[in-house]
Amino acid sequence: MRTIVSMLHQASQKFPNRAYATKKGDGQWIEYSYTAVDEQSDYVCAALASKAIKSQSTFGLLAEGRPEWIIAEMGVIKHKSISVPLSIKLTPEEIAFRLTHSEAVGIIASSNTLDNIVKAFLLMEGDKPVLYYLDEIDEKLVSYAKKYKWKEGVEYIAWSLLIETGKKAIEKKKDIVSSIEATIEENDTINICYTSGTTGNPKGIMLTHLNYWANSHDAVELFNIPENVFETLIVLPVDHSFAHTVGIYTSMLRGITLHFVDARGSNSAIIRNFPKNLVEVNPTFLMTVPSISGNFMKKMSQGILAKGKFLNGIFTKGLEAGIARNGDGFHPTSTWVKVKTFFPYTLASLLIFPKLRKVFGSNIQYCVGGGALLEARQQHFFAAIGVPVYQGYGLTEAAPIISSNSPSSYKFGTSGRVAPTVTCKIMKSETEEAKTGERGEIVIKGENVMKGYFKNKDASDEVLKVVDGETWLFTGDLGYYDQDGFLVVTGRAKALLIAKDGEKYSPEEVEEAIINTCDIVNQLLVYNDHSPYTAALVTLQEDKVSTLLKEENIKTPQEAYKKILELLKEYEEGSKLSIPGQWMPSTFAIIEKPFSEADKLVNSTMKLVRYKVIEYYSERVEQMYGHKEHEKLNIEVIKNLFFKD
């Protein structure tokens, strides 16, 4: 049977004493073996069954990554029920919507997330879900229970009592779990995963045992993962489909150990403890998103710069040499390039790169990037220092892996090879397939494709289309196959730039081109809605601009603005980019404050929520089109950022 439950049972038999998941305790890491997770998830399942909860009920799951997260979800799945993974970054309003829409009978939460759960409860009408508390009873829970008159075992149940209830249920009826498992089928829905809403209201993606089974096996094949060897540190939210599949499920197939970043006390501890935990657990590989790897790149560059001109010179020349030697990662570079770059690369490899790699511990082999398009600049940087980041592409609707670069086959600037069991076409229309090098919509079929959107047939029918008797997922993403058979993803079809004459283009492609060319750019959103020219909102890398202003002895905001504009338009030089000129921004609005989650302008995977950014800065967007105050506002921002004194 191709189910997640069978995968866990097989892992428990194959890797019985291997640590499946660990968490930081007082002074040590606490391990949960594959056998322990299998056994304890039986207790969770039995506890639910003993409370006469019907199979196919839904349970929200809102907590930081930890072994109990896995145990709780596996218990729900063994119960033939449905887990609804929720982001710890959701607002109470967003939590309430998801719990109500998914018809959740329970919410599995932790001390870190309890405050927002209670706020969400206050926004919900009717009966509230039962609270399953992943921690022991603490002052916070006692306080809320007293305030709202919750009864233990009725409105809430703490972790140890849940486990104990399950143990007693199994003692009373030995086959209470196995009898439910016997009814599980591979096409049963096990997750409803809500979209992060970059293009509108969230939709509940229904994923099945088979979706995850197929995708996990594809991940193993793409990366040729060995058994009983790999370990990783999970910093991504476990509700994120990338961490969910590649972390929690794929690990069962190869005995991978998952270490969870120490989040004790608050979710903000994750960021604080990540660097320290990296060195402590010494991971073999990491799952990352562009914002995390970009932060590493920025801090590494700043750290070397602070060491002085001599070491920075070795680093810069060594990095350039490493990038030249690697080429595009797929085609071998010439002997002449290797000879010419030998000395600077060797010197940096001896003196600088090993120290940079130590940030990841001493065992790191590579990182895998997902969640958003990874700039080619980052791919070149990390490959040069010896910790390649292999870019992949996927959608939660595809469980999520569609393609990936890997150690055996990679090419910078692409999203790699399509997964073994996935069929992927580039379609110019619903009936016309694109040729090699031609852009079109990415359309896939495979056992990893979702069942549909929960309670949203119209949205399901819009993306799941039957062509010649087969169901295809129309992803809404644009891309093409290059001459070497690699998939190149260029952006979202529904977030297109639209010129005055109706011609369309992908904004992400333009944004990546500028970011890769101009290192003073922090964030960028290009915009054109039936206008004569393209414009862009930009936030700056303040440290790099500050250094530049000092080096060039620029004294006034007006001079600084002129210089910044010059740098922002460097992409025009030599027409190196294959992007038509009409899509390159003619004007920029410099934004003082970076786009952030706090303002809801980026989502939980750190992608720009395009429509919200445009709404938030609607006045600035309008001013970029011929308003006399536009330049004055930019100079004012530069003055505030760099000339406060």
According to the model, what pLDDT value does residue 578 have? Answer: 66
Dist CA 18 CA 411 (whole Å): 34
Among 537, 504, 538, residue whose Cα is nearest residue 621: 537
Q: Are strands 58-62 and 82-85 parallel, antiparallel or unpaired?
A: parallel
According to the model, what pLDDT value does residue 15 have? Answer: 98
According to the model, what pLDDT value does residue 574 have? Answer: 44
Encoding tokens for residue 391? Answer: 């870019």
According to the model, what pLDDT value does residue 629 have? Answer: 86
Give the full edge-to-edge strand order of the sheet including 504-505. 504-505, 497-499, 529-531
What's the CATH number of domain 496-642, 3.80.10.10, 3.30.1490.390, 3.30.300.30, 3.40.640.10?
3.30.300.30
Name residue, tokens 């977030």. Answer: 495
Among 303, 321, 99, residue whose Cα is nearest residue 194: 99
Contacts of 147 (CB under 8 A, 6+ apart): none
Chain segment 523-554, per-residue pLDDT in tens: 999 999 878 899 999 999 999 999 999 999 99
Residues 15, 229 contacting (CB under 8 angstroms)? no
Dist CA 392 CA 403 (whole Å): 6
Helix, strand or coil for residue 61? Answer: strand
Upstream peptide bond of 400 is cis (omega within 30 degrees of 0): yes
Residues 62, 299 contacting (CB under 8 angstroms)? no
According to the model, what pLDDT value does residue 563 have? Answer: 93
Name residue, tokens 């939590």. Answer: 95
User: Domain limits of the chain?
Assistant: 4-283, 496-642
Estimate to the nearest angstrom the gap between the alpha carbon of 542 and the chain centroid. Answer: 25
Estimate to the nearest angstrom the gap between the alpha carbon of 211 and the chain centroid. Answer: 19
Bridge partners (DSSP) of residue 478 are 441, 491
Chain segment 412-440, per-residue pLDDT in tens: 999 999 999 999 999 988 789 999 999 89
Collect the ranges in the chain with pLDDT lower than 70. Answer: 196-200, 371-372, 501-502, 572-578, 605, 645
Residue 32 has φ and ψ, to the nearest 5°, of -120, 115
According to the model, what pLDDT value does residue 501 have? Answer: 64
Encoding tokens for residue 623? Answer: 């001013």
Helix, strand or coil for residue 476? Answer: strand
According to the model, what pLDDT value does residue 459 have? Answer: 92
Dist CA 391 CA 421 (whole Å): 19
Among 137, 117, 143, 139, residue whose Cα is nearest residue 128: 117
According to the model, what pLDDT value does residue 199 have? Answer: 47
Bridge partners (DSSP) of residue 418 are 403
Dist CA 6 CA 14 (whole Å): 12
Dist CA 524 CA 539 (whole Å): 7
| CATH number for the domain whose boundaries are 4-283 | 3.40.50.12780
Helix, strand or coil for residue 530? Answer: strand
DSSP string, 237-289: -TTSHHIIIIIIIHHHHHT-EEEEP--TT-TTHHHHHHHHHHHHH--SEEEE-
Residue 53 has φ and ψ, to the nearest 5°, of -75, 130
Dist CA 274 CA 29 (whole Å): 14
According to the model, what pLDDT value does residue 198 have? Answer: 46
According to the model, what pLDDT value does residue 577 have? Answer: 56
Helix, strand or coil for residue 217? Answer: helix
Residues 78, 166 contacting (CB under 8 angstroms)? no
Encoding tokens for residue 611? Answer: 């429509």
Compute the half-sphere exposure of residue 156: CA atoms within 13 Å on the CB side of its CA: 27
Dist CA 67 CA 134 (whole Å): 10
